[in-house]
Amino acid sequence: MSEVKLPEGAPEEVITKAILREIDLTAFGATGTLSLITLDNGMDHNRPNTFGPASLKALDEAITAAQNSSSVAIGITGKPFIFAAGADLSALAFLTEKSQALAIGKLGHDVFKRLGNGPKPTFAFVNGLALGGGLEVALHSNYRTLATTAFTGLPEVFLGLVPGWGGATILPKLIGPEKAVQVIILNALNNNTMLKAKDALALGVTDAVFEPADFLENSIKFAAQILNGSKKITRTDHTSDVAQWESALATGSAAAAKKYGGAPIASPAMALELIAAARTNSLTQGFDAEDQALATLTMSDPLRASLYAFNLIQKKRKKVEGAPKPALARKISKVGVVGAGLMASQLALIILRNLKVPVVITDLDQERVDKGLAYIKSEISKLVEKKRMSPETALRISGLISGSVDKSIFADCSFIIEAIFEEIDLKKKLFKELEAIISPECILATNTSSLSVTAMAQGLTNPERVIGFHFFNPVAVMPLLEIARTEATDDVTTATAVSIGKELKKTMVIVRDSPAFVVNRLLTRFMGEITDCIDEGTNPAIADAAMKPLGLPMTSLELLGLVGPGIALHVAQTLNKSLGDRYRISPSMERFVSEGVRTFYLKSDDGSISANPAALAIIKETTQGKPKCTTEDEVRVGALSALAQEARMMLEEGVVSSAAEIDLCMLLGCGWPLHLGGILPYLDREGISDLVCGQRFHPPGVASLPA
């Protein structure tokens, strides 16, 4: 086997050893022994087994020893709870030559394919997490078992890669093109959805599923039954139905187009090409094609950007920059939510589910309170129906929620979050009322998206316990939480807020209290540039299509319909007042709100969308003068230049401590595409950072090919 060395500067590989032992099959009803290879990197379950060059070499040596032994079959399993999480991606960003990428791809194929074409039957006993190359090891094996608690999948397209160690070739042949497109394309594009064991069994990815307590014993028994002939697994030939393949590929292509707004993104396109070729390719031809695709993607900026973004998200999920010592956090025994509308009810529900402490809600009248309580209990019932919560848990947490119109129910709360109308005077009045009721230790949080947290705390006896706690809608889905700290907010309050955020499983960024924090400030500036162009006379279709090449999940005017013109206008007015005329007030948006026009697009029964005639009529009446921008390129450059200017100002103002935190906010708060690596690396690569700010946000080589 040819040796592959990691490039200079790459992090040292954590080697996954391949430990070999012989299992006597007599007690399981077969003769001879099974050579069992256990993958183990010697770390705890927080560091899964991965495959770098040295780990692949260790596995190759174990396979050789197993094939040379007197055993009748070979099995492969993992350390407790973990099978393998695939390739060690830490070195990819350091590759400088395509030949290096080709060598790594070929090395994986050369090792793994020995499990599929060797002289002995092979079995993969997937006892835990198996992703990417981990699942591909199993696919190369002749037979597979899976623990009921294991999750598996091929996340490569999500990361800007393709399943490059056999997955794109073997899986379509094994389970058919429709199911393969589901696993390789649809699941990956749907926020990297993984397969549960029952799903893997239904799809044919695995041959049997066993409970974890005696998983290995039952898996060896399964192997013995295959070997003694008492159990037979039949495989279906999926290659003959051409129409089925064409339909599956069309489904995958449509999903990619929808995900990326029609932008030509390389990884799903290449994965679909590999799936299509798998129908007629031999395994050798398919593996060669995978090597080429993998190397091409590895030597591209989108992959480097995806890896930067993915690693950033993983890192910041574990550590919150600037957070005080966790020991300072107060224990939360009861939570109050002011408001019973949709956002407030979502907040109450996520707190109930994760903190499992009493939660009380209030609103202006009992009807609103009852409506909020009904929503929360209905959502809990839905979770039980979907088997995402046990009936016992549902009963217990349903008993923890209550509501009233009397704010005195907040008297013994240790944490209160308000989600009332975005009006500063209302919020200041509320906090003064609450301060007269609650203890000095109770923390007061606001879910405001754009108002000053400092202003809300003015006049309070204890302004140090006021903090911004800004969630994104829908609360249960969106992973970002902006924690806005004022000059007065103390470490105890901040540490407690971070502790709660961790309990809620949110990724947090601590921001300085400033207008609209990070996400809404940048989104409003960006959206303002688009609407300004339209107000100046740019064709709305041209303005709205300007950002499509970026592969954003929706166009600017589609986003406007999701957010709502009323909210967009309110935030723009707030920022215009606090930050000046670069946040201009759109006359079109004012008319949209005053005349009740809620969306630019209308959706028909067949799913097609068209421009709303009422919106077009308003735009026609409010258009002023000759447009500055007449092409999509001009609109796009203008909008991106505004983003660069605003991001530089935010860093200079100390809104966040680093450019990476702005990237994180945009990735998790508004779905900025992973393949762009965050907003600031993209602006760097496009030259807009230098053009507008005279400097880059990141050093060369961050989220891009090495300089």
Question: Cβ–Cβ contacts within 10 Å for residue 577, how many?
Answer: 11
> Rounded CA gap, 45 and 590, in Å?
54
* Backbone angles phi and psi of 108, in degrees to 5: -60, -45
622, 614 contact by CB (below 8 A) = no
362 vs 372: CA distance, rounded Å: 9
81 close to 299: Cβ distance less than 8 angstroms? no
* Active-site annotation holder among 8, 61, 156, 433: 156
Q: Angle, to 10 degrees, between the axis of helix 283-298 and the axis of helix 98-112?
A: 150
Q: What are the residue ranges of helices labelled H in 196-265?
A: 197-203, 215-228, 242-259
Instruction: Specify the DSSP element, H or E, that contains 382.
Output: helix 366-385
Q: Are 526 and 639 in contact (CB under 8 A)?
A: yes
Tokens 């409003």: give the residue. Answer: 524
Give catalytic status of residue 136 as yes or no.
yes
Question: Within a 10 A sphere around the Cβ of 328, how many other Cβ atoms?
Answer: 16
DSSP state of 183: I
Give 341's contacts (C-beta < 8 A, 6+ positions apart).
Answer: 363, 368, 372, 419
Pairing of strands 208-210, 401-404: unpaired
503 is catalytic: no
Select which of 3, 136, 246, 503 is catalytic.
136
- How many other β-carbons are positioned within 10 Å of the β-carbon of residue 12? 10
CA 415 to chain centroid = 28
3-state secondary structure of 378: helix
- Angle between the N-to-C axes of helices 98-112 and 133-140, in degrees from 0 to 180, rounded to the nearest 10: 40
CA distance 378 to 398: 10
CA atoms of 232 and 116, how far apart (whole Å): 18
Query: What single-letter DSSP state applies at residue 538?
Result: -
Terminal CA-to-CA distance of the chain, rounded, Å? 32
Give the pairing type, strands 466-471 and 480-485.
antiparallel
What phi-psi label fits residue 229: left (phi over 0), alpha (psi between -120 and 50 degrees) or beta? left
Question: Please, which residues bridge with residue 615 across strands?
Answer: none
Backbone Cα Rg of the chain: 28
Residue 396 neighbours by CB distance under 10 Å = 12
Strand 17-24's sheet: what is its strand order?
17-24, 33-40, 73-78, 122-126, 143-147, 208-210
- If you count them, how many residues does the chain have? 707
Q: Which of 337, 343, 349 is nearest to 382 (CA)?
A: 349
Place of tokens 């005080």: 324
Q: Give the distance between the most distant pair of CA atoms in the chain.
A: 88
Catalytic residue numbers, as ranges: 136, 156
